[in-house]
């Protein structure tokens, strides 16, 4: 009997031609492109038939009228046209969250991107001579002023910067680096793979925890093309350790006429101890020590857009900039505009926290975070306390983005311990909201870290928590 009902329902579904004759279809064609409407009609019919078949004879409430189906078509079109990349609320407490886009841009950088996108610009035009110029010229002088380097150029990310530098100075040759610096960065990209793609051959020296200058000296041959130092920014080795200071590596390179490439990763241009954090190696220090090529990211501690920045000695940087591979790795005009605007803030602004979001989060007073947390809990405790326990607790935020792996910033968190659903289900429901909220889970507790909530976002967060369903879904045991 169930199969007969299914067959009957399936037979009542109108065909594409019938749907196209309906007035509702005409209205869709007036608003949307014809290929989109046609594809959505076919997909809707396929989903409808599958829905009926999967019912396996059980009663199913499905509107198979032309009008009902075309309503579903319009909903599907809306889903297809809805942006896949959305604004989210970062309640994880990770300031430079790789999955959430790392550093937020300063308003000046955002405006610079808009201007570059809206109108023609002198991307590769020298306005003085009227001849073709170089796109990296917009940021080179700024980078040299800020770091003390003789020259600079930029590519699309730091992994590309390392690969391009090694391809330029050591293609077909050996690159020597310490085993303790063979890092894996986000997305399972490993340094040995980057070296391999550069056309160089990696030669490891020392051990994971102890490497000496003599280890480098013993292995240098006429096949050696460069010495590579890598700041292990996303992990730390403690205890019985030894490493070669970059200055000593530079001296070794000079003696053997070998360039030294130093991947700094996070790219700190200021002393982070001023923000209560451990001091990260600064780009200026590496330049002062005579490193030939220094690479670092634009979207980490620099606080700008995604970019791979290369600074160093003029003759070597020039060779990198002229490498044909660089064209495949270059920055677009909007990213260059944002990077230039970010670098100008460093030159002009003594208080970086007032202009760059990353430093605003780093320097955010715990008193401000406490006030926001207390206000939220005060409002929520009277509204959702029957479904979930609400309170304010001490916590620690993380810098993230492969920076300062063990450093924590004091913060306040709102832990939610749902009574009727699991923490994983609560986190999933938060991600499915119109404005998704991204949290972290610790010891079966959903944590909302208020340090990474932007000013004013607490109102959006309050609305999400007020309207969220904390009850089990139908058919799911609590």
Cα(328)–Cα(302) distance, integer angstroms: 24
DSSP-assigned states of every residue in 414-428: EEEEESSS-HHHHHH
For the domain made up of 107-351, the CATH class stated in words is alpha beta
pTM listed for this prediction: 0.89
- Tell me the three-class secondary structure of 257-310, residue by residue: CCCEEEEEECCECCCHHHHCCCCCCEHHHHHHCCCCEEEEECCCCCCCCCCEEE
Strand pairing category for 388-390 and 393-400:
unpaired
- Inter-residue contact 109 to 117 (CB < 8 Å): no
Burial group, residue 429, by CB count within 10 angstroms (0-12, 13-18, 19+): middle
CA gap 375, 373 in Å, rounded: 5
**Alpha-carbon separation of residue 409 from 179, 312, 365, 412 (angstroms):** 30, 33, 10, 10
d(CA 279, CA 276): 9
> Which residue is it, tokens 């000013």?
455
Q: Which fold has domain 89-96+360-467?
A: 3.90.1150
| CA gap 309, 143 in Å, rounded | 9
Break the chain into its structural domains and give their ranges: 2-81, 89-96+360-467, 107-351
What pLDDT, on the 0 to 100 scale, is given for residue 407?
Answer: 65
Place of tokens 């490439």: 261
Q: Beta strand 308-312 with 403-418: parallel, antiparallel or unpaired?
A: unpaired
List per-residue pLDDT tens for the chain, 478 residues long. Answer: 445 555 678 888 999 999 999 999 999 999 999 999 999 999 999 999 998 888 766 666 788 999 999 999 999 999 999 999 999 999 999 999 999 999 999 999 999 999 999 999 999 999 999 999 999 999 999 999 999 999 999 999 999 999 999 999 999 999 999 988 887 765 556 888 999 999 999 999 888 788 888 988 999 999 999 999 998 765 566 666 778 889 999 999 999 999 999 999 888 999 988 887 888 889 999 999 999 999 999 999 999 999 999 999 999 999 999 999 999 999 999 999 999 999 999 999 888 989 999 999 999 999 999 999 999 998 888 777 677 778 899 999 999 866 666 568 999 999 998 888 999 999 999 999 999 999 999 988 999 999 999 999 999 999 999 889 888 875 444 3
């Amino acid at each position: 009997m169930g199969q007969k009902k299914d067959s009957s329902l399936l037979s009542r579904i109108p065909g594409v031609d019938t749907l196209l004759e309906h007035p509702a279809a005409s209205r869709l064609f007036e608003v949307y492109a014809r290929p989109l409407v046609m594809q959505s009609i076919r997909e809707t019919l396929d989903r409808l038939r599958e829905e009926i078949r999967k019912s396996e004879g059980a009663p199913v409430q499905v509107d198979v009228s032309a009008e009902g189906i075309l309503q579903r078509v319009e909903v599907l079109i809306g889903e297809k046209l809805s942006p896949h990349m959305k604004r989210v609320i970062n309640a994880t407490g990770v300031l430079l969250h790789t999955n959430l886009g790392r550093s937020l841009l300063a308003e000046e950088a955002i405006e610079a991107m808009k201007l570059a996108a809206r109108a023609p610009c002198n991307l590769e035009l020298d306005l003085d001579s009227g001849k073709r110029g170089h796109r990296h010229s917009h940021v080179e002088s700024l980078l040299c002023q800020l770091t003390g380097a003789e020259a600079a150029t930029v590519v699309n990310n730091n992994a590309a910067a390392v690969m391009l530098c090694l391809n330029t100075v050591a293609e077909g040759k050996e690159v020597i680096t310490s085993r303790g610096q063979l890092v894996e960065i986000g997305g399972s990209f490993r340094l040995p793979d980057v070296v391999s793609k550069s056309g160089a051959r990696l030669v490891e020296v020392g051990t994971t925890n102890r490497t000496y200058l003599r280890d480098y000296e013993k292995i240098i041959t006429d096949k050696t093309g460069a010495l590579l130092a890598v700041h292990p920014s996303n992990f730390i080795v403690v205890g019985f350790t030894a490493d070669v200071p970059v200055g000593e590596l530079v001296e070794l390179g000079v003696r053997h006429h070998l360039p030294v490439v130093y991947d700094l990763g996070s790219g700190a241009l200021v002393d982070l101890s001023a923000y209560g954090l451990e001091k990260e190696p600064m780009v200026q220090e590496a330049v002062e020590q005579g490193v030939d090529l220094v690479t670092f990211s634009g979207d980490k501690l620099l606080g700008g857009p995604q970019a791979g920045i290369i600074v160093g000695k003029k003759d070597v940087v020039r060779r990198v900039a002229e490498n044909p591979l660089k064209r495949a790795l270059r920055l677009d005009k909007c990213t260059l505009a944002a990077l230039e605007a970010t670098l100008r803030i460093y030159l002009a602004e003594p208080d970086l926290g007032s202009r760059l979001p990353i430093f605003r989060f780093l320097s955010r007073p715990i008193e401000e975070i406490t006030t926001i947390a207390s206000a939220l809990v005060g409002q929520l405790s009277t509204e959702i306390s029957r479904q979930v326990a609400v309170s304010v607790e001490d916590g620690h935020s993380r810098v993230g983005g492969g920076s300062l792996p063990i450093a924590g910033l004091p913060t306040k968190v709102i832990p939610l311990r749902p009574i009727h659903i699991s923490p994983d289900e609560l986190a999933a429901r938060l991600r499915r909201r119109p404005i998704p909220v991204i949290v972290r889970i610790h010891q079966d507790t959903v944590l909302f870290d208020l340090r990474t909530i932007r000013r004013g976002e607490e109102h959006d967060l309050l609305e999400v928590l007020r309207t969220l369903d904390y009850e089990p879904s139908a058919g799911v045991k609590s």
